[in-house]
């Protein structure tokens, strides 16, 4: 599954992660997500099951979530959370089970609560 985006009938944009969400792909991924957030109120990531994610990828997801919240948009993911994301969150100490002010004071979608 390559890195790209598609629009559903309901206007939601689905961004696919591609095989890598790392420092090498962060700029392109960030550009695609920013364009999606400008075009739709609902944006979701669909992860390649074998995606490789590094800390830069995690930072891009967090920044996109904050940007979406500031614009009144919804930013989440579809399907299962990839094992690589769960592993980098735990190993980096980013796991949160507290509320996030960028997520309507709900548990963080990315680092603790699921969607």
Q: For the whole prediction, is pTM greater than 0.95?
A: no
Contact 62, 30 (CB under 8 A): no
Cα 32–chain centre separation:
11
The confidence band for 115, taking pLDDT boundaries of 50, 70 and 90, is very low
Rounded CA-CA distance 58/66 in Å is: 13
Instruction: Give the number of domains in the chain.
Output: 1
Q: Which of 15-29, 56-70, 97-111 has the lowest mean pLDDT?
A: 97-111
| Residue 33 CB-density burial (10 A; 0-12 exposed, 13-18 middle, 19+ buried) | buried
- CATH code of the domain covering residue 83: 3.30.750.24
pLDDT, tens only, 7-29? 888 889 999 999 999 999 999 99
When pLDDT is averaged across residues 94-112 and rounded to a whole number, the result is 74
| Cβ atoms of residues 111 and 95 within 8 Å | yes
Q: How confident is the model at residue 48 (pLDDT cuts 50, 70, 90)?
A: very high
Q: CB–CB of 110/62 below 8 Å?
A: yes
| 51: containing domain | 4-113
Element (DSSP H or E) covering residue 99 = strand 99-100
> What is the per-residue pLDDT for 14?
95
């Amino acid at each position: 599954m390559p890195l790209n985006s598609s629009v559903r009938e309901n206007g939601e944009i689905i961004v696919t992660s591609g095989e890598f969400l790392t420092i090498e792909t962060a700029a392109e991924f960030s550009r695609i997500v920013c364009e999606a957030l400008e075009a739709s109120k609902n944006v979701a990531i669909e992860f390649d099951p074998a995606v490789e994610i590094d800390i830069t990828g995690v930072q891009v997801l967090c920044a996109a979530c904050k940007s979406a919240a500031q614009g009144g948009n919804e930013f989440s993911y579809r399907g299962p959370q990839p094992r690589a994301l769960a592993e980098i969150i735990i190993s980096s100490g980013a796991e949160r089970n507290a509320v996030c002010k960028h997520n309507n004071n709900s548990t963080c979608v990315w680092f603790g609560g699921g969607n």
